[in-house]
Amino acid sequence: MAESSPAGPVVVVLGGGYAGVQVARPLDDVADVVLVEPKDDFVHNVAALRALADPSWLERIYLPYDGLLGRGRVIRDLAVKADAGRVVLASGAELVPDYLVLATGSGYPFPAKNDMHSTEAAHGKVRDTHAALAAADRVLLLGAGPVGIELAGEIKPATASWPATTRPRPASSSRSAPMAVPGSCTAARTWSRPRRSPSSRAAT
């Protein structure tokens, strides 16, 4: 076990998604937090399908990590090995935490989740797919779960001029539920607001 730093115990959080952010930010005042995340920015995946239909949303759902922590740090890297007392990163660097939080999240096929670590590359992939969709004569969606239903609803306005028989329609279902939670974009932006260090707060 590593010795705790003067700033408090060392807490390494693997994963900068919803869970990782909600763990790292509150602990920033009482611990030496290290958040490890390979992506350039936090991605608000709840709105990913809207961004596919309207790429102007991309800037709204990719939020920088730079303002997340006041005194902790965010490392753009990928953990390749982790146990209770040691974390090895893809870069070869090693971390020795007092506490380790696994918040690596879940995977889901594109476009619901983007596997690109670079924000520029991720935006390019979405825009390319949007362009291909706009140029298509027909779109076939396989699956009528929450993602399939939401995707059909998001892209339907863009295909309004198509014949009714070729518009995107997933298999019918007697139940459906909206994926987006009201106010979720506002909550995500709040997480990304810059935090002041404890010393700057004391001076105000």
Domain that holds residue 81: 10-194
% pLDDT > 90, the chain: 54
% pLDDT > 70, the chain: 74
Q: Which residues is 194 bridged to in the sheet? A: none
pLDDT digits (tens, 9 = 90+) for 64-103: 998 899 999 999 999 999 988 899 999 999 999 999 999 9
User: How far apart (Å, rounded) are the C-alpha atoms in residues 139 and 175?
Assistant: 22
The SS3 call for residue 188 is helix
More confident residue, 124 or 141: 124
Does the pLDDT of residue 176 top 60, yes or no? Answer: no
- pLDDT at position 196 is 57
More confident residue, 164 or 25: 25
- pLDDT at position 190 is 59
User: How far apart (Å, rounded) are the C-alpha atoms in residues 36 and 15?
Assistant: 6
63 belongs to a structural domain: yes
Does the pLDDT of residue 174 top 60, yes or no? Answer: no
4 belongs to a structural domain: no
Does the pLDDT of residue 187 top 60, yes or no? Answer: no
More confident residue, 177 or 51: 51
64 belongs to a structural domain: yes
160 belongs to a structural domain: yes
Over range 43-57, report the average pLDDT.
Answer: 93
- pLDDT at position 17 is 95
CATH no. for residue 102? 3.50.50.100
Does the pLDDT of residue 61 top 70, yes or no? Answer: yes
200 belongs to a structural domain: no
Q: How far is CA 68 from CA 7, 30, 72, 182, in A?
A: 17, 15, 9, 22
Over range 162-179, report the average pLDDT.
Answer: 48
22 belongs to a structural domain: yes
Does the pLDDT of residue 116 top 90, yes or no? Answer: yes
107 belongs to a structural domain: yes
116 belongs to a structural domain: yes
Does the pLDDT of residue 159 top 90, yes or no? Answer: no
Does the pLDDT of residue 178 top 50, yes or no? Answer: no
pTM given for the model = 0.74
Over range 26-37, report the average pLDDT.
Answer: 96
More confident residue, 177 or 60: 60
* Burial annotation 130-166 (CB, 10 A radius, 16+ → b, else e): beebeeeeebeeeeeeebbbbbbbbbeebbeeeeeee
Number of domains in the chain: 1
